[in-house]
């Protein structure tokens, strides 16, 4: 799954280019940097690779989401519809701009259920934010139709699905804006970093300034001559991080090819168990295959599988998100308690505290039965066979035990 598994001389070369100049900042110092502009190069490569007209690098995927929301005009009192299954960064970004996260059920795609989205729309809804979890994508046709019918923004959190496509277009480039994360465990990494992609020039211009204290970048070589048409923040990426990403993006198709091969081999092995079913993928050809996500018949059986794998010391790489502290609403007590270090508006506080009692049985029924197996780039065919056979043996053991209890 992560690009760091195939780290090599390419990354070292790009980083050394920066170290030789000593200019680690992406802006300014034009003469001293000797023509080395890694962030600019990476932004151009992102546009070329993924088909976005504009790209603005940031210091993280979270910063990218925050920047995108600000550039799209999402702020105080606006409601952003998002899924119950995501990483905490998704709602952190919503809160960072003063907006209200409206959590709704996922379906078997492990992403937003379009019917649940429709039911959640209110006069305060400003944006629908699908999160393309675990390498695959949301039902973007259905979500775009909802946005068009209700005049809403579509912001794609594609941080976990770099390289996935939907009907020939890269996820993250289909909505009004989209984001990737380039942290250490993403398909391609900068170590830390992120990007906002958009096909709208006005959104890009706002992102460009927002990530750099509001600089309009029109002062040429003199940063002090830049104007500041609005207040921004420091969400800049460094040249060192961009250098790593520049090497990684040039290998990203190789990463994806390996992922898809290893994914297919592992899926074929565990498909031997008829009780195993797999997540729904709206465009199977577009799955980036960072994870193989699959279901067992019941929550009880799934938890027994997890315990069996733990007892054998071989659970690693199999994620049971339902009991994970970071990815599913059942464990987000800090959100439900509105536990922020800064103040919140009354509307936001009320909404967050409502999640302490709100139930999501449809999501529970899906996530309680779901395992996601991360796909390594470093596996050999023999290792895939061994891993798959151990998983199959554990599944069959818990299924037999369950049958004997009935």
What's residue 81's pLDDT? 98
Residues 131-163 as b or e (16 or more Cβ within 10 Å = b): bbbbbbbbbbebbbebbeeeebbbbbbbbbbbb
Q: Is the per-residue pLDDT at 108 higher than 60? A: yes
**Contact by Cβ (8 Å): 180, 202:** no
Question: Which residues, 6 or more positions from 169, have their beta carbon under 8 angstroms from its beta carbon?
Answer: 51
pLDDT of residue 149 exceeding 90: yes
Beta bridge partners of 295: 277, 370
Residue 81 · residue 121 · CB < 8 Å: yes
With b for 16 or more beta-carbon neighbours within 10 A and e for fewer, the 172-209 pattern comes to: bbbbbbbbbbbbeebbbbbbbbbbbbbbeeebbbbbbb
Alpha helices, H only, 239-369: 239-249, 252-270, 299-311, 333-336, 346-354, 361-367
Integer-rounded Cα radius of gyration of the chain = 22
Q: Is 206 a residue of the active site?
A: no
Residue 192 · residue 184 · CB < 8 Å = yes
What Å distances lie between residue 266 and 135, 167, 382, 383, 388, CA to CA? 16, 25, 11, 10, 6
Torsion angle in degrees (nearest 10) through CA of 287, 289, 290, 291: 100
Q: How confident is the model at residue 402 (pLDDT cuts 50, 70, 90)?
A: confident
CA distances from 63 to 118, 146, 239, 261, 275 (A): 28, 27, 17, 33, 41
Q: Domains (ranges, CATH) in the chain? A: 3-253 (3.40.640.10), 254-405 (3.90.1150.10)
Q: Is 380 left (phi over 0), alpha (psi -120 to 50) or beta?
A: beta
Q: Which two tokens stand for residue 141?
A: 């046709």
Contacts of 223 (CB under 8 A, 6+ apart): 27, 28, 215
Output the pLDDT for position 260: 98
Judge contact between 2 and 186, C-beta under 8 A.
yes
Residue 198 belongs to what H/E stretch? strand 194-198
Calculate the CA dihedral of residues 202, 208, 211, 215 and round it to 10 degrees.
Answer: -110
The predicted model scores a pTM of 0.96
Identify the active-site residue in 118, 126, 169, 186: 186
The model's pLDDT over 178-188, given as tens digits with 9 standing for 90+, comes to 999 999 999 99
Of 218-222, 229-233, 266-270, 370-374, the one with minimum mean pLDDT is 218-222
Phi, psi torsion values for 249, nearest 5 degrees: -65, -25
pLDDT score of 403? 79
Write the CA distances from 112 to 131, 184, 305, integer angstroms.
7, 26, 26
**Percent of all residues in the chain with a pLDDT value above 90, rounded to a whole number:** 97
In this structure, the number of other CB atoms found within 10 A of the CB of residue 19 comes to 13
Contact 32, 14 (CB under 8 A): no
pLDDT computed for residue 406 by the predictor: 53
Q: Does the pLDDT at position 405 exceed 80? A: no
Query: Mean pLDDT in the chain?
Result: 97
Per-residue model confidence as pLDDT tens digits over 312-350: 999 999 999 999 999 999 999 999 999 999 989 999 999
């Amino acid at each position: 799954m992560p690009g760091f598994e195939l780290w090599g001389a390419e990354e070292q070369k790009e980083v050394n280019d920066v170290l030789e100049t000593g200019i680690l900042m992406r802006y300014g110092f034009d003469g001293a940097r000797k023509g080395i502009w890694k962030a600019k190069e990476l932004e151009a490569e992102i546009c070329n690779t993924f088909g976005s007209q504009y790209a603005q690098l940031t210091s993280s995927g979270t910063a990218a989401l925050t920047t995108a929301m600000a550039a799209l005009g999402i702020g105080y009192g606006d409601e952003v519809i998002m899924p119950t299954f995501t990483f905490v960064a998704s709602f952190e970004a919503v809160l960072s701009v003063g907006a209200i996260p409206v959590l709704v059920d996922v379906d078997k795609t492990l992403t937003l259920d379009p019917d649940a989205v429709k039911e959640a729309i209110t006069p305060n809804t400003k944006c629908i934010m699908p999160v393309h979890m675990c390498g695959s994508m949301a039902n973007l046709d259905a979500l775009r139709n909802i946005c068009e019918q209700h005049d809403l923004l579509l912001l794609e959190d594609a941080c976990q699905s770099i390289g996935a496509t939907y009907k020939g277009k890269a996820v993250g480039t289909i909505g009004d804006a989209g984001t990737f994360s380039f942290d250490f465990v993403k398909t391609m990494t900068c170590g830390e970093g992120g990007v906002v992609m958009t096909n709208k020039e006005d959104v890009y211009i706002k992102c460009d300034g927002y990530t750099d204290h509001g600089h309009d970048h029109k002062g040429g070589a003199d940063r002090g001559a830049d104007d500041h048409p609005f207040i921004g923040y420091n969400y800049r990426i460094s040249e060192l991080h961009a250098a790593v990403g520049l090497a990684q993006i040039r290998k990203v198709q190789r990463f994806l090819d390996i992922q898809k091969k290893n994914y297919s081999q592992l899926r074929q092995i565990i498909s031997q168990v008829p009780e195993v079913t797999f997540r729904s993928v709206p465009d199977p050809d577009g799955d980036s295959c960072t994870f193989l996500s699959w279901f067992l018949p019941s929550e009880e059986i799934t938890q027994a599988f997890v315990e069996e794998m733990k007892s054998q010391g071989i659970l690693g790489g199999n994620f049971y998100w339902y009991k994970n502290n970071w990815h599913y609403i059942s464990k987000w007590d800090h959100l439900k308690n509105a536990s922020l270090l800064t103040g919140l508006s009354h509307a936001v506080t009320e909404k967050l505290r409502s999640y302490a009692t709100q139930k999501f049985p449809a999501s529970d029924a899906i996530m309680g039965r779901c395992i996601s197996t991360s796909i390594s780039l470093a596996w050999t065919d023999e290792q895939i066979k061994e891993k798959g056979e151990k998983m199959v043996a554990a599944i069959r053991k818990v299924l037999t035990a369950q049958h004997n209890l009935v």
